[in-house]
Amino acid sequence: MAWPPRAAQPSDRRVHVLGRPADTHPYPAPEAERGRVLRITEVGEDILHRPCRPATEFGTAQLSQLIDDMFLTMYVARGAGLAANQVGVDLRLFVYDCADDDGVRHVGHILNPVLDEPTGPRRLIDVSEGCLSVPGPRRGLGRADHTVVRGLDKDGNPLVIEGTGYFARCLQHESDHLDGMLYIDRLPKRVRREVLAETAEQRAEVHAQRHARAEDMGARHARVGDQQRWPTSPAAS
């Protein structure tokens, strides 16, 4: 069976903010200017290996600050996306600033994301993938080259985010995080062991690079324990 043909390049090549085209949008995103650098959790920590709690409260200053902090933390770590449990917060939320394979930039956040179930055959692309919580190595992993994610913005308004190519990979990767899955969990056991061994060797260098970038950006660091101030009960998260 032949794969479906690749979609034509989009006619609207403007940056897409929260799924909607905008004439301009600064880089880094404005959220980063208000943010603080948070510690990134790493493979083996419990919060990365269990599903996150859904968001039930919206429009709060605390939620806005978390999103700001996550944007800055993502940029300092040179990531394309970052999930809340990667900064120690048990919440179904991720942020992203990622280009698709056609060079269209996508930037925003989404709470309680749900991936649309694929219909019919999917085109799978196997390219190198990495993770900020598995610092250092990358490995090839097959992902669908098109996906749609539905969820809410920080004020509780509905969002529909569509991604192709590398951005589709980003949306799937971050959604996996919120279900307690790392990309290495999708790899063969032998390859996963290799990645973990390389992470142990490269961790110190990656941390030093992140620290240097934070200093270059004049970034403020959150006080130890700030992430743990987030409520952990389902009703309050």
pLDDT in tens, the chain (237 residues): 233 344 445 567 899 999 999 999 999 999 999 999 999 999 999 999 999 999 999 999 999 999 999 999 999 999 999 999 999 999 999 999 999 999 999 999 999 999 998 776 678 889 999 999 999 999 999 999 999 999 999 999 999 999 999 999 999 999 999 999 999 999 999 999 999 999 999 999 999 999 999 999 989 898 755 554 555 433 322
**Residue 170: strand, helix, or coil:** helix
Give me the pLDDT at residue 213, please: 96
Q: Is the distance from CB of 210 to CB of 87 less than 8 angstroms?
A: no
Q: Is the distance from CB of 31 to CB of 67 less than 8 angstroms?
A: yes
**Range list of H helices, the chain:** 30-33, 61-76, 165-178, 189-216
Indicate the residue type of 174.
E
Give me the pLDDT at residue 222, please: 87
Given 174, 198, 201, 215, which residue is catalytic? 174
Of 82, 150, 71, 80, the C-alpha closest to 111 is 150
Long-range CB pairs of 1-7, under 8 A, 24+ apart, other chains included: 1/121, 3/121, 3/123, 4/120, 4/121, 4/123, 6/123, 6/145, 7/146, 7/164
Give me the pLDDT at residue 123, please: 81
For the chain, how long is the longest CA-to-CA vector?
Answer: 55
Active site residue 174: yes
Give me the pLDDT at residue 224, please: 56
In the block, residue with structure tokens 């609207």: 12
Indicate the residue type of 116.
D
Mean pLDDT taken over the chain: 90
Q: Is the distance from CB of 93 to CB of 84 less than 8 angstroms?
A: yes
Q: pLDDT tens for residues 96-107?
A: 999 999 999 999
